[in-house]
Structure 1
Amino acid sequence: MTKGQIEAKISEAVTKFEREFMGRGPKQINTIIVEDLIIIRLIGFLSRSEQKLAESKQGIELIKRVRSMLFENAREYLEKLIKEVIDVNIISIHSDVSTKTGEKIIIITVDEDLERRFE
Structure 2
Amino acid sequence: MSKKIHEFNDIIRKLRKELFGKGPERINTVFVENMAVSTLYGNLTPTEKFITGTKEGAEMVHTARTKMIQELYVTNPPIGLEELVEAKLVHLFSDLKIEEDIAISVFVFDKNII
TM-score bin (small chain): 0.7 to 0.9
Query: Larger Rg: 1 or 2?
Result: 1
In structure 2, C-alpha distance between the alignment counterparts of 1:88 and 1:72, rounded to whole Å:
18
State the Cα RMSD in Å: 1.6
Residue deviations 1:69-110 (CA, integer Å, cap 9, x gap):
431452234344311322202221111111011011110111
The number of residue pairs the alignment matches comes to: 113
Q: Note the residue ranges of structure 2 that are not aligned, 5 or more in a row.
A: none
TM-score by length of 2: 0.87
- The answer on 1:102 being equivalent to 2:75 is no
TM-score calculated relative to the size of structure 1 = 0.84
1:59-98 equivalences in 2 (<5 Å): 59-75=57-73, 76-98=75-97
Say whether the 8 Å CA contact 2:11–2:81 is kept in structure 1: yes
Aligned-partner SS, 2:11: helix
Runs of 4+ in 1 over 6 A off after TM superposition: none
- What runs of 5+ residues in structure 1 fail to find an aligned partner? none
Q: Percent of pairs identical after alignment?
A: 20
